[in-house]
Amino acid sequence: MSIFRDFDRMFRDMEREIEELMRRAFTMPSEGAKTFGYTMYWDSSMDKPVIRYFGNVNPTTGELLEEGWRIPYTETSYDKDKKKYLIIAELPGVQKKDIKLKAGSNYVTLTAEAEDRKYKKQIDFDEEIDPNSIKAHFKNGLLEIEVAPVSPPEEEETEIEIE
């Protein structure tokens, strides 16, 4: 029957087209290749999900970052006992001397630039932090940063007279 031959031909044509599309989709040049990943978890209060990006792609636009730069994988948690934030950043391929940290009133900027590796990320906080409290340790490609939030001044209780 000719209808079955027509179906066979159509399926072979579709199979060739799909193979060609897949070949083009997964063939990437070595330069300009996009690396992108993310982690998602619930914050400690279980109020909202937290999404962290890493790779060499701007997560908002999908464009490659400036040549050679990557967003490092980081995790941020809050230690209630120490009353400090702990940031852990993975920075393989760099040394301590390659890392620069800067802090503002509610963010920490991490930059690491070695011969063949470059990382850059700004870590934002929902509250004001004390830049003078920051301590950082680097060992085996892991950077640990401790950041204390600015504690509000202790308020004295005032008695209010009722009229």
Q: Concatenate the DSSP letters of all residues of the chain into one string.
A: -HHHHHHHHHHHHHHHHHHHHHHHHH---STT---EEEEEEE-TTSSSEEEEEEESB-TTT-PBPSTTEEBPPEEEEEETTTTEEEEEEE-TT--GGGEEEEE-SSEEEEEEE-SS-EEEEEEE-SS-B-GGG-EEEEETTEEEEEEPBPPPPPPPP------
- CA distances to 67, 71, 89, 95, 118 from 56, rounded to whole Å, are 9, 6, 15, 20, 10
pLDDT at residue 30 is higher than 50:
no
The whole-number pLDDT of residue 53 equals: 72
Q: Do 29 and 64 meet the contact criterion of CB atoms below 8 Å apart? A: no
In tens, the pLDDT along 4-23 reads: 888 788 888 888 888 876 66
The whole-number pLDDT of residue 88 equals: 94
Tokens representing 59? 């997560």
- 44 contacts: CB under 8 Å, gap ≥ 6: 77, 78
- List of domains in the chain: 36-147 (2.60.40.790)
* 88 vs 63, more confident: 88
